[in-house]
Amino acid sequence: MLLGCIGDDFTGSSDLANTLSKQGMRSVQYTGVPSEPAHPDVEAGVIALKSRSNDPKEAVRQSLEALAWLREQGCEQFFFKYCSTFDSTAAGNIGPVADALADALNAHKVIVCPAFPGTGRSIYQGHLFVNDTLLNESGLQNHPLTPMTDPDIRRWLTPQTRHSVGHVDANAVLSGAQAIKDALSIEHDAGKRLIVVDALRDEDLLQIGAASDGLPLITGGSGVALGLPRNFAKRGQIANTGSSWRGETGKCVALSGSCSNATRAQVALHSKTNPSYEIKASDVIHGVLHAQTVAEWLIDAEGIPLAYSSADPAVVAGIQKEFGREKSADALEAFFAEVSRILIAGGIRKVLTAGGETSGAIVEGLQLTTLEIGPEIDPGVPALRASDRLVIALKSGNFGGPDYFAKAAGILGSTA
């Protein structure tokens, strides 16, 4: 294994594995730290953790455990993957995990770059944009667990880390890899260890990737990993072999717990032509609604049935105020996990999920361990084979086009 990656949620990890696979690296996504060595053909291993919303100390512990396994596989470089909208709180977890990994690897000049132009995320003058809107005006300020209220990544990261935060601006990035290297060195000499790097285009990410050659640790969204495989390819270290894909027949069902603007629009559009079932958090918490009821409805419904708890931010805020943020989130995650188990026991072989926390709960609930990367559905969202009889797609909240659910169902059933 050449490149060892640690993702802080399951949807983002599949996004990263998809990016690396498209660039020619034989990539495998692991759910949690494996208990056995990796297959010798794996060139990039992505360990998906469900640590984004954990206590920072627990997130650090899990990440260091993942790092230890990846080092045992012989990795030459390491990547810490977090969301392209930098989802975190003032206490972490991005800063604490990045600090711990940097200390363990004696890494300096650690790039911080959540940009992903293919999905509209760009960084300019240290500020994160979603399309043409600053992060804190994009709807992410209403995230139920990690509300993003400041678009300045330098300012948001500073209280999370023990180190000074640096910046490589767009002028250096647009000048190419050598200029980026020089700017990183200048920031390092000034005592900066975690360094935010601007990026506006995919070409910028390729240049950042070239400038990262030889750095022990890079952090960011999956976009900044775009240029990393080229470094290994130049040295003849990767085989550049594609992977085959085999879809599944039968019904596809969708489960959505994301409250992002994009997912809510996808839910609304899909519900016009397919059966949909709204899951109310209060009903779940009070025990009025049971997983068996929802699962049986999904199995019996026509088309591509969808069960969702994707509510308006004001509704979510009311639920959190009444029951508490953690209790309401935990209840819904456990509910979706139980629904998914009943679905698989009932013969469902194609499952779509929307929302990072929801997807993580379902993957853990189904005890999926290794995911084979398949064709890309939308930027950042690949089809995944979870077992001989199960294919899935794990979508982050704000990813995917308007007709995502129908498109994804078609790809899960196709064969290359």
Return the structure tokens found at 240. 């550049």
Residue 244 placed within a domain = no
The contacts of residue 60 (CB under 8 Å, 6+ apart) are: 93, 96, 97, 100
CATH code where residue 338 lies? 3.40.980.20
| Distances from the Cα of 19 to the Cα of 118, 203, 398, angstroms | 11, 14, 17
CATH code where residue 144 lies? 3.40.50.10840
Residue 243 placed within a domain = no
Packed helices 404-412 and 261-271: angle between N→C axes, nearest 10 degrees:
80
Same domain, 214 and 304: no
pLDDT number for residue 242: 58
E strand or H helix that includes residue 225: none
pLDDT number for residue 248: 96
Same domain, 10 and 59: yes
Residue 129 placed within a domain = yes
CA atoms of 23 and 281, how far apart (whole Å): 41
The contacts of residue 76 (CB under 8 Å, 6+ apart) are: 2, 3
Which one of 186, 206, 234 terminates a domain? 234
Please name which of 356, 314, 358 lies closest in space to residue 332, comparing C-alpha atoms: 358
pLDDT number for residue 79: 98
Same domain, 372 and 295: yes
Same domain, 168 and 257: no
Same domain, 169 and 196: yes
Same domain, 156 and 226: yes
Same domain, 264 and 228: no
Count of structural domains, the chain: 2
Same domain, 197 and 50: yes
In eight-state DSSP terms, residue 390 is E
How crowded is residue 380: how many other Cβ atoms within 10 Å of its Cβ?
26
E strand or H helix that includes residue 265: helix 261-271
Residue 245 placed within a domain = no
Please name which of 237, 284, 274 lies closest in space to residue 254, comparing C-alpha atoms: 274
Contact of 22 with 376, CB cutoff 8 Å: yes
Same domain, 301 and 363: yes
The contacts of residue 69 (CB under 8 Å, 6+ apart) are: 33, 34, 47
Return the structure tokens found at 151. 């678009």
Q: How far is CA 172 from the centre of its chain?
A: 28
Contact of 117 with 203, CB cutoff 8 Å: no
E strand or H helix that includes residue 397: none
Residue 246 placed within a domain = no
Return the structure tokens found at 341. 């188990």
**pTM (2 d.p.):** 0.86
pLDDT number for residue 259: 87
Packed helices 325-345 and 291-300: angle between N→C axes, nearest 10 degrees:
50
CA atoms of 152 and 164, how far apart (whole Å): 15
Residue 203 placed within a domain = yes
Same domain, 372 and 223: no
Residue 148 placed within a domain = yes
Same domain, 127 and 261: no
Contact of 368 with 387, CB cutoff 8 Å: yes
pLDDT number for residue 312: 80
Which one of 201, 234, 267 terminates a domain? 234
Same domain, 122 and 200: yes
CA-based end-to-end distance of the chain = 27
- Per the structure, the complete domain to which residue 15 belongs is given by 3-234
Residue 399 placed within a domain = yes
Give, for all 416 residues of the chain, the pLDDT tens digit: 999 999 999 989 999 999 999 999 999 999 999 999 999 999 999 999 999 989 999 999 999 999 999 999 999 999 999 999 999 999 999 999 999 999 999 999 999 999 999 889 999 999 999 999 999 999 889 887 888 999 999 999 999 999 999 999 999 999 999 999 999 999 999 999 999 999 999 999 999 999 999 999 999 999 999 999 999 999 999 987 656 789 999 999 999 999 888 999 999 999 999 999 999 999 999 999 999 999 999 999 999 999 999 778 788 788 888 888 788 889 999 999 999 999 999 999 999 999 988 999 999 999 999 999 999 999 889 999 999 999 999 998 889 999 999 999 999 998 76
- Say how many residues make up the chain: 416
Which one of 207, 234, 261 terminates a domain? 234
